[in-house]
Each structure stands twice: as structure tokens, then as C-alpha cells.
Amino acid sequence: MKLNNKIAMVTGAAQGIGLQIATKFADNGAKVIMLDITYPDEDLTKQDYSQNIIKLKVDISKKDEIEDITQYINKNIGIINILVNNAGICEVCPFEKLTEEQWDRMLAINLKGAFFCCQAVVKAMKKTESGKIINIASIAGKTGGILAGIHYSVSKAGLIMLTRCLARELAPFNINVNAVAPTLSNTQMQDLFSDLQIQQIINAIPLGRMTFPEDIANAVLFLASDEASFITGETINVNGGSLMD
């Protein structure tokens, strides 16, 4: 198995891409900590941590919650070897109508949360001189979102730059930092768009179909594995050829 004896933390793991990544990791031998704001509150001390999949509630837009849960995991479950920053939101809103609250919420979840998750896990990763961080970005972070709001595209562009900066800074500690940039995938996010808009997206994909969560999970699994040990600072497109760069 690719990830035997590894502990992976996946944010936004209750559904869609995050759930598929967590399942893929578990199927390949990892113990997976699934974080999501939608999980019910539970007494951490009463959970069964012998399981391969553990679900914990956290709001990643809050630094103290991230730090507390990460410290708890490292102490009671084991050192986090793999972090996948998947949690994110998308919103359709014209630029001129975008409010300060909408802007702040988008950046807090999509970018600030990922930054603080990285900060929280690298403390232990540095001591072990190993680790993998994978950020789930978007084609919108490279091209500018045609359909999604500008604040979404900016947050994903920031995530790509965060990936590059951390890759350089953490390379001396043998920590790989990469990103995956999908196009619109077959998840609840597509409910934001009309059937016509979705068909236009599919028509622009040379391979002729929507991206599935498993397509993204497969790329993330590769980046989390030893096979990708000499790849860092890279953003892999998973879009069926709609963007080739």
C-alpha cells in the first residue's frame, strides 16, 4: 500500500473531493483524520482512535481551533505526515456587488485556513524531516474564474503562490508542498451553475467530460506518495486538457 503507516489530515472531508481523497488514502493504508465544520461536537477524549478513519469537527477559519486540534492529533494519534488543504467555498457574485463580508469569508476559509493548517503541521514535520502538503487549488486561480466570483479566483491564486513559497522554505526539511488545480468537478459546487453553463464548461474540455472527484483524489494520492518525493512547488492541472500550461 502506498501510504502504509502514514497519518493524513484532510480538511473539508465530509463530502465531495475531500471525502474521495480521505477514502482513497484509507484504501491505500493511511490513518486518515477527516476534518469538517459540519461534523457534530464530540468529546475528543472519548473517541476511538484505533480506527483508520477519524472524523473531527473544526472551523479552519479560526487559527486557535486549527492549532488545538493539530496538537491533539500529534499527541494522541501520531505525527501528521500528510496534510491536504481541501476545505473551501465557492460563490457566484458580480464584482461590483461583492461585499466586504463576502470577500473576508472567502479568503478566511479558502486561503487563511490553509495557511494556518500548514503552520500547525510543519512544527512536527520539521522535527521528523519529512512530510507532504497538498493544496486543492483551481483552474480559476490560474485563468481567473469565468463563472465563479473574483474573490474565489483570488483565493485560489493565493493558494498556488502559497504552495510555491512554502515549497522553497520547507525543502531543506524534506517537506514536499504541491497543489492540484481542477476545473469544475462533479460535486455539489456544480449546483451554483446552470445546465447551460455546465455544458459550456464540458464543451471546452478536450477529453469531453466533467472532472470527477476520483480524478482529483488520484492526483493527490500520487503527490502524497513516495513516488512524488522529488516533486515540490508544482501545481498539477486536473482538467481534461482545458488548460495546458
Chain-centroid distance of CA 85 in Å reads 3
* Radius of gyration for the alpha carbons in the chain, expressed in angstroms and rounded: 17
Give me the catalytic one of 39, 49, 72, 152. Answer: 152
Residues 133/178, Cβ–Cβ less than 8 Å: yes
Q: Give the C-alpha distances (Å, rounded to integers) separating 234 from 60, 125, 162, 245.
A: 24, 20, 11, 12
Q: Rounded to a whole number, what is the distance in angstroms from the first to the last CA of the chain?
A: 32
Q: Cβ of 64: how many Cβ atoms within 10 Å?
A: 9
Q: Is 152 a catalytic residue?
A: yes
Measure the CA angle with vertex 86, ends 2 and 52; round to 5°: 45
Q: How far apart are CA 158 and CA 161, in angstroms?
A: 5
Coil, helix or strand at residue 23: helix
Helix (H) or strand (E) holding 219: helix 213-224
List the catalytic residues: 152
